[in-house]
Amino acid sequence: MPKIKSITCQKILNSRGDWTIETKVTLDDGSEGSQAIPDGASKGENEAVYIPVDKAVDIVSTAINDVLEGEDPTEQIVLDKILLDMDGTTNKKHLGGNSILSVSLAAAKASAKSKGLELYEYLARLYTPKKDPSAELQFPVPIFNIINGGLHSHNNLSFQEFMAIPSPSLPFDKALEMGVKVYHNLKEILIKDGLDVDVGDEGGFAPNNLTTAKALQYISKAASQSYKLGEQIFMGMDVAAGSFYMHDAYLIKEEKKTLNSEKMSQMYVDLLTTYPLIYLEDPFYESDADAWAKFTKSVGSRLMVVGDDLVVTNPKFLKSAIDRKLANAVIVKPNQVGTLTETFEFVRNAQQAGMKIIVSHRSGETGEDTFIADLAIAVGADFIKSGAPVRGERVVKYNRLLQIFNAQKN
């Protein structure tokens, strides 16, 4: 079995011009794996702690390198346990979730190369050891964030993401083509109406002077120009409601509304009757549990009620959400929890509870990182979020999935 020879770390820039870390794990057989760590603008209160970059570089290159040198990188559970024991905190504030995750994922990449496997193949074997390696791959449905608001832009929209979602019945390549077409349709419509086509952090357009309804109208128009709305293509929103929850109310500034939980729920129900919405992420503040439970019970049979800040890819918070029936779908972001092992545990528990799985990027990504594409394939995710079909750090994930799709097809 290969052994870890060295672990090095450097700071690099992400897509927002902020510093992050990139860690390289080198094995004694010459195999290498590198992993950069994304960062989110909109964060759940219970995410793993992201420590300062310079401190993370030092910790990875010295303390973690010294402890893991000589360890077997293919023993992922053992490796991650060593890292967790080194940290010794529930939120990884000692070593940092960014430090720990960079090593955890880089070790998996190095191990895949050592075994001569594609990363998704190696991850799939870790996730489901007894799965038939010749089984047909399940490709996630891409969710395209084509209008940005909230903390992902500098416009007036309170809601963070407005999305076009191809029908799950379509093959991946056709779904990707659909997202590209709708994106360009939307651009032409916005220009015709004299609106800005500047983009937000995730590549979606971020014009000013929109409301929630107006944003949905624009996407509806762009989609229906080329496809059957409600049959071939659907819509969704990431509300990120915690970002505008203040003093026990939701403050929607562009509409000058202050709503309690019941009125927020009614607003969503009204939108459901008008638009083919199948996806609603973080519709309430993460601690507004009663609102989550009532809403999911009311509309969960016809809508994905998606927990992100609610569960932060953490098995502990997922258990509470399952027990209280707060959501029926969950976001998976490895950097929210900090290790590959914990990410796998989270996905496995959610799948066993019958929840839909959405593997997701963050708003601050790097141009080379495609890990979540391979992860989505490996765990059989239902959907993937990687932003609009533009900007290198977003497109690279879609292109990786397309590469795997074409290889599988051929």
Which residues are known catalytic residues?
A: 202, 333
Nearest to 267 by CA among 216, 226, 206, 229: 216
Residues marked as binding for substrate?
Answer: 152, 161, 281, 308, 360-363, 385
Residues marked as binding?
Answer: 152, 160-161, 238, 281, 308, 333, 360-363, 385
Residues marked as binding for (2R)-2-phosphoglycerate?
Answer: 160, 333, 362-363, 385
Please give the Cα distance from 96 to 92 (Å, whole number): 5
Nearest to 342 by CA among 351, 331, 334, 353: 334
What angle separates helix 97-114 from helix 119-127, to the nearest 10 degrees?
A: 110
Nearest to 144 by CA among 226, 219, 244: 219
Strand partners, 385: 143, 360
User: What end-to-end distance do the CA atoms of the chain give, in Å?
Assistant: 32
Residues marked as binding for Mg(2+)?
Answer: 238, 281, 308
Q: What Cα–Cα distance (Å) separates residue 360 from each residue in 76, 121, 125, 275, 291?
A: 22, 19, 21, 24, 24
Q: How many helices (H) and strands (E) does the chain have?
A: 14, 14
